[in-house]
Amino acid sequence: MVATEQTLATGKQLDLLCINTIRTLAMDGVQQANSGHPGAPMALAPVTYSLWQQFLRYDPADPVWPNRDRFVLSNGHASMLLYAMLYLAQVRGVNPEYERLGDFAVTLDDIKRFRQLDSKTPGHPEYRLTAGVETTTGPLGQGVGNSVGMAIAGRWLAAHFNQSGFEIFDYNIYALCGDGDMMEGVASEAASLAGHLKLSNLCWIYDENHVTLDGLANVSFTEDVGKRFEAYGWNVEHVTDANDLQMLADAYNGFLRTKDRPTLIRVNSHIGYGSPHKQDTSAAHGEPLGEEEVRLVKKSYGWPEDAKFLVPDGVLENFKNGIGKRGGELRQKWETLFADYGKKYPELANQIKRMQQRELPDGWDKNLPTFPADAKGIATRESSGKVLNVVAENVPWLVGGSADLAGSDRTRLKFEGAGDFQAGSYGGRNLHFGVREHGMAAALNGMAVSKIRPFGGTFFNFSDYMRPSVRLAALMEIPTIYVWTHDSIGLGEDGPTHQPIEQLASLRAMPGLMLIRPADANEVVEAWKVIMPLQHEPAALVLSRQAVPTFDRSKYGAASGVAKGAYILADAADGKPEVILMGSGSEVSLCVSAYEQLKAEGIKARVVSMPSWNLFEHQSDEYKAKVLPPDVRARVAVEQAAAFGWSQYVGPSGVVIGMRRFGASAPIKDLQKKFGFTTENVVAAARKALGK
């Protein structure tokens, strides 16, 4: 009996030693950087320690093991908490090719270089920069939004790949979040969707400390979060003391027992726990404690006051014997199972391996349609829907949906067996995100980092609701696909509330986003050929509601020019134009019409289709000069969007026919006439550029 009590006492002392190591590493890292947030890591050290040491099914030696539990730090300002855990658990590094390396993801030296240039410990955790960081977090609400996509992916992977006796995918997702996350709208959208889908593999751990950067949260936030989540259909657990490891364990076990809904664990903590003077203040949350305060806190922990970045004997060993040993055994058991699975189900095993490397199946582009020349043509949203269905049949892990507009943006997969993803029917390929554009975009990112290939659609104007998540996809370099339709004033009667104007220019300015606005059905096919092989770049297809002519490719340039971003569609007979007409999307047909009229008048013109500026900018100077010869200064750009940005292509003497105000509610032909999108106006602009 005495020995048992002594062992328990020793275990508790070791637990506390490890927890205080996490706290002091966070304090020291923030203090050395003279920048950052020490309070949340100090308060949440026991919460994270209990989860990682006892419950997280994660092998530090293999941080890309496909069936690992995911830990998401949604309150990314507490990044030192995650960095301390990655260091203490001795998580191994991974290179961009997903090969495990010998060195550690985060070393003590990395912690000492917190928030410094080119360090692996930036101010907020960044995916692909630091192994063990499952997703980039910082903008509040994004991490929990991503976690819903991870949970969707987990359920889909299980439904698609698991076989009798082979539970290849059964992982859980834990997301740590705070009051700020709970206030952000994206978190509400995500939580509502997760409750509807009954994602029981999802656990949010809510640090209910009642503190935000402005001070006490009750100046702006007094709702009962627990009741809100019960209304969403979540199981809600409550831990009244963040330092009570037994209470935390009971809550985590409550999540594991809950098989019919996601779980929210409310955890009451005191920010900057252990700080004698700054407890429950925003200062401990948003700035370093100061040297004297750090000494006082360490003294209260029974810590050497002058020791910096101290990791006492026994701490690393404790983590090695905890998460290290348990995670290693679980991973090895899984690898044995997967080896047997590969023998019995080689095709499915091959799919899993390709997904992990973001490779496509052989023949992914077979049977793609070719569209015949047609003066009346077809809306690019229509042709995209046809191509998407062929590609999705060839790529079994291409999964997605729409923000309640699948019929309009043509993102519904209609082939046999596609099915709908719903609670209890998780093998479907069609996701119904509801009118939750931001929640959809955040979930798509969570699916992408889970190695599913996700797509999501809505009207182009409402890309504004998705933008923060789109930006993070570009920052993370993940191949999320956006299908945005109703791309201009061409949608007509719905009016200026629904007509995008500035979105094209705005999204073209975003680094790392592959944006393509195809001019006809065959350019749509080529756009999908560009998008699908992408491994480290999100892509946006911007598509028309109205029909556009399908060009006669025996007469005009080949649509394969899309791969270069811009190409010569029609040219002067001698290849030496007097004027260049350029545009994207539906306006290219206007350029072609004007070209034919100019040609009849004896004016030598060239039409350049420019579906993707960023693709064009990646071409050689020689190619760019071939398409847009510098000596041809008479140039006209035509686009039913803000004119901003076209000056780089038309030059100082060129003309841009674009939108310089919001649109209007009227039939499409009336709008095009009012705003100058007519053949006659393009011809007149060409004459003006020529000085005629």
pLDDT of amino acid 171: 98
Cα–Cα dist 474/148, whole Å: 19
Split at pLDDT 50, 70, 90, the class of 6 is: low
pLDDT confidence bin for 4, thresholds 50/70/90 = low
CA atoms within 13 A on the CB side of 306: 0
**Predicted local confidence at residue 2, as pLDDT:** 42
What CATH code is assigned to 2-332? Answer: 3.40.50.970
How are strands ordered across the β-sheet holding 202-207? Answer: 70-73, 173-178, 202-207, 263-267, 235-239
Q: Which of residues 191 and 273 earns the better pLDDT score?
A: 191
Q: Which of 263-272, 273-282, 365-374 has the highest average model confidence (pLDDT)?
A: 365-374
Rounded Cα–Cα distance for residues 519 and 533 (Å): 21
Q: Does residue 285 surpass a pLDDT of 80?
A: no
Amino acid in position 656: V
pTM metric for this prediction: 0.96
Confidence of residue 9 (pLDDT cuts 50, 70, 90): low
Q: pLDDT digits over 511-561, tens only?
A: 999 999 999 999 999 999 999 999 999 999 999 999 999 999 999 999 999
Task: Give how far Cα 511 sits from Cα of 166, 423, 434, 472, 534, Å.
Answer: 42, 37, 29, 11, 15
Residue 304 one-letter amino acid: P
Averaged confidence pLDDT in the chain: 94
Given 237, 437, 578, 639, which residue is catalytic? 437
pLDDT band at 218 (very low <50, low <70, confident <90, very high): confident
Q: Give the contacts of 456 (CB within 8 A, at least 6 positions apart).
A: 400, 401, 402, 403, 411, 431, 433, 440, 441, 444, 466, 480, 481, 482, 483
pLDDT tier, 144 (very low <50, low <70, confident <90, very high otherwise): very high
pLDDT at 574 over 80: yes
**Tens digit of each residue's pLDDT (9 = 90 or more) over 98-138:** 777 889 999 999 999 999 999 999 999 999 999 999 999 99
> What's the rounded Cα separation, in Å, for the pair 177 and 179?
7
pLDDT tens-digit readout, 200-216: 999 999 999 877 777 78
Q: Kindly tell me if the per-residue pLDDT of 237 is higher than 90.
A: yes
What's the one-letter identity of residue 237?
Answer: E
Strand boundaries in 76-157, DSSP class E: 92-94, 100-104
Residues pairing with 400 in the sheet: 430, 455
Tell which wins on pLDDT, 572 or 94.
Answer: 572
The pLDDT confidence band at residue 221, using thresholds 50, 70 and 90, is confident
Given this model, what pLDDT does residue 286 score? 66
Indicate if 374-548 has the same CATH topology as 2-332. yes
Tell me: pLDDT of 358 over 90.
yes
Instruction: Please indicate whether residue 437 is annotated as part of the active site.
Output: yes
Q: In angstroms, what CA-CA distances link 447 with 431, 439, 510?
A: 12, 12, 21
Q: What are the boundaries of each domain within the chain?
A: 2-332, 374-548, 562-690
> Of the given ranges (64-73, 89-98, 417-426, 432-441), which has the lowest mean pLDDT?
89-98
Which is the CATH superfamily of the domain at 374-548? Thiamin diphosphate (ThDP)-binding fold, Pyr/PP domains (3.40.50.970)
Instruction: Give the rounded percent of residues in the chain with a pLDDT score beyond 70.
Output: 96
Strand ranges for 529-600 from DSSP E: 539-542, 547-550, 567-570, 579-583
CATH class of 562-690: alpha beta
